[in-house]
Structure 1
């Protein structure tokens, strides 16, 4: 299995698949940090996508390939920090030297892309986008613009339209990077697929009939942390929650799993019984930390409850 440093150096030489594998390797950990900083909701995944695109554009800045994990986390924390400040439109992708003027010439932007380590992959990915998204992406990620209102002024469109377009760009390009990892038929891909199957099968056992098997995967000294900061230690607390849900008739519907050996992200919805439709919030995201074949820590993030009277 290639090291982080080997994957980064290959990506710096133009191997998009290696970058995809590297980002997939760190995806659950980055998502966990984003959740801790931003809480439940789409902002966490959006911050991870933003991190991927900044990394795509700045690969050559990494001087110590073995420290790429810390570099990715630093980018993510900066993205989240700006998000919390309410300045998502001003995430500083690039610091301009004193007196530098941003470029509005698309030929200049094309030249910048040609200088990127993954220029062939970037051009292929950009070419798959509609022209409106492609131009917006080039201005944001390969130009010198850090504010949405600058891009809006150049394109002659509302700021809200810029924000909407860039949300689509981030999703499409980040997905393309992760799909590149899927082109690799290595041991790492096989391991990811095996972990995904394991967690899928494990959560199918979240039923009264398979209760003991389901709970046996969690360590006796399990640590559970809730959104309000409350922390409980001991699997007995999870046992009580699970038994309470089973008794009430609440079901957990798994929507998505991002697995890794150390950390797994699980997104799920609650299906409450008709007799108690507000027993549990609409959904949750779990950050599961693994050790010695068991989960030893769970961090809970809950979707906001709807106002009473709304379904």
Structure 2
């Protein structure tokens, strides 16, 4: 047993040094135990396999968090157990509760990704996915407030079952890519993320200074589309008018999380409403943007915690809540 734990520890240290192939070996060694946990909680079926895939991807992203490399086996099984419990909570339609912390995990996921050498491999592997697989994967694993299946389905304009299927395909492709791209060297993730943070702040500053329309015309695609699910509901004119109306009402936004690759960026904002109208906008919004050559071509706006149905017409949920459709 000690021999096996020592070999596990060596693989963990190699993975934390940036050797993606070491993660693949670890997952192969512990896949049977991970699957056994899933089967014991969920029974035989596709849900158990999906949970094992999901847990494997989480392990790939969080390998830098492990403080005790010899305990990687229990750590992997804990991830599976947490994922199973989350799935069972969803099935019972109860409000989710905080997930028990993973062994050795005390940093937020975005910081964890920045902190270990595996991050560049993960993002380059994500870039290789098709757009339809890339979007739900990034929302599920890298956003803070758009992680639920129903929220992702709303953003993508597809049924929940399609979201589950696309996530399963995306995770499988990402894990299959471990061996093929493990030794490639990648750079630029940190600079992309920092640039996206700066762009989010600059965009809000420009808007507050009355220059949002000029920014849209100068830096975003001329054909930018505001989307609701899979439907286009407007363009730059609607975006500018909605932003100006919110600012005139005293609404302000603050970025709290950014996830960015070359073709997709997610800016998650906290919304500060005026004191005399605290329900003017939902408390948070995610800007989900498709990029082409650095220019935004599509924008979806998703409110993780929407206003009460009486306050927002149903047909307008998912865009600025009080904006009229044109």
Relative contact order, higher structure (CA 8 A, sep 6+): 1
Normalised TM-score (structure 2): 0.46
